[in-house]
Amino acid sequence: MRTDSDPQHGGSTPNVPSGSDAGPATGGTVPGDHPGIISLLGVLAYGEISAFYRLVDDARMAPTLGDRIAMASMAAAEMNHFEVLEAALAERGRDVLSVTEPFAAALDAYHASTLPSTWMEVLVKTYVADGLAADFYREIAHSLPDDIAATVREVLAETGHSEFVVTEVMARVAASAADKDRLMLWGRRLLGEAITQAQFVLAQREELTELVMTASGDFNGIVALFDRMQVRHSERMAILGLV
């Protein structure tokens, strides 16, 4: 459950076609004192700091200086986003370390199960998998208090990195049918692991489940939320030529 970044501007998620913006199901309004808000900020904050370290590690596979610089820029953006969330938690009298710790196991398990072995896998994960996490957060942002919604959108802002990833991946899959097949399988794996870990986090944190239930309307709304995430995943895969 986490975003990735724009190498030029420090953003968070890939662009997707406008047809994917049908919008979430209409739910209720989450009150400002809902305990799920702190947990939401916590899981976002851990996602940002873990993304920072992931991008630093992934940069070792970058084939060119330009690619390494792009990855470094993304990592810097993740740290900036972490600091925004740290400040938001501090404003509510909460320490970022204690709030993020409960989410470490699930997010670390996701990244451990989706370690890229090639530069192309790094790029596909950067573009596709982290976009799934951003979709999840945006699905519930409409029901959050204004200040929390603004914070969530700030750390998911800027989506201009698509050119960096799309150009490289499309060139590779056009040149190699074998690479295309492998990356299609990789994309399916990323989708499955992301949804599995999101469901695990919700199952372990009752306050987050209640928050998402309020935002999506009911249990059927949660199911529809995950369905929309899968649709957007397919759109991103299509943009990369992985269909």
Would the CA dihedral through 154, 191, 201, 45 be positive or negative?
A: negative
Helical residues (DSSP H) of 59-176, grouped into ranges? 65-91, 96-100, 104-113, 119-124, 130-141, 146-155, 162-175
Q: What single-letter amino acid sits at 138?
A: R
pTM: 0.81
CATH code for the domain in which residue 84 is found:
1.20.1260.10
Does residue 18 lie in a domain region?
no
Which positions ≥6 away from 82 have C-beta within 8 Å?
A: 45, 48, 49, 52
Both ends of the chain: CA-CA distance in Å?
24
Joined tokens for residue 11: 């953003």
Find the domain containing 226 and state its range.
Answer: 33-239
The pLDDT score that the predictor gives to residue 4 is 42
162-175 vs 177-204: helix crossing angle, rounded to 10: 130
Give residue 149's Cα distance to chain centre.
16
Does residue 224 lie in a domain region?
yes
Does residue 26 lie in a domain region?
no
Does residue 169 lie in a domain region?
yes
- The residues of the chain scoring below 50 in pLDDT are 2-27, 159-160
Domain count, the chain: 1
The DSSP annotation for 26-41 comes to P-----TT-HHHHHHH
**Among 137, 141, 41, residue whose Cα is nearest residue 89:** 41
Does residue 9 lie in a domain region?
no
What span, in angstroms and rounded, lies between the C-alpha atoms of 92 and 115?
35
The pLDDT score that the predictor gives to residue 158 is 56
Does residue 25 lie in a domain region?
no
Does residue 6 lie in a domain region?
no
**Contact indicator for 237, 128 with CB cutoff of 8 Å:** yes
**Contact indicator for 240, 167 with CB cutoff of 8 Å:** no
**Contact indicator for 117, 94 with CB cutoff of 8 Å:** no
